[in-house]
């Protein structure tokens, strides 16, 4: 009987974690939409932060080579901003993205 209760508890805990992740994903998707409709254009540094958190939150660690063109300054900056987040979990990146968008909205 105790084994069954433990199994049910584990299942409920897993479902709760999954539900929380789905809520976070929905909040993240809402923040992405809101980031495209901000009243003021963020600074380039903030745009890089949004980009890197988005990539880390959707893809995980950088999985491409850096730009090969030495004059692709924008591509290089985006790559370096994303690479700097290596090891940050998808959940943490999504949460940071949501918080940054909230801050930008005022």
Q: Summarize pLDDT for 57-66 with one digit per residue, the tens.
A: 999 999 999 9
Structure tokens, 14: 């897993």
- Enter the pTM of the model: 0.79
Domain with residues 2-105, CATH architecture:
Up-down Bundle (1.20)
Q: Which residues of 63-89 are buried (b: 16+ CB within 10 A; e: fewer)?
A: eeeebeeeeeeeeebbbebbeebeebe
| Structure confidence at residue 56 (pLDDT) | 98
Condensed to tens digits (0 to 9), the pLDDT of residues 2-21 reads 676 666 666 555 555 555 55
| Structure confidence at residue 27 (pLDDT) | 97
Evaluate if residue 34 carries a pLDDT over 90: yes
């Amino acid at each position: 009987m105790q084994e069954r209760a433990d199994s049910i508890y584990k299942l409920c805990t897993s479902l709760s974690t999954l539900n929380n992740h789905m809520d976070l994903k929905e909040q993240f998707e809402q923040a992405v939409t809101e980031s495209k409709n901000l009243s003021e254009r963020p600074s380039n540094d903030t745009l890089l932060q949004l980009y890197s958190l988005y990539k880390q939150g959707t893809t995980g660690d950088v999985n491409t080579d850096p730009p090969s063109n030495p004059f692709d300054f924008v591509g290089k900056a985006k790559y370096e901003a994303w690479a700097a987040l290596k090891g940050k979990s998808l959940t943490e990146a999504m949460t940071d993205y949501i918080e940054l968008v909230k801050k930008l909205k005022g």
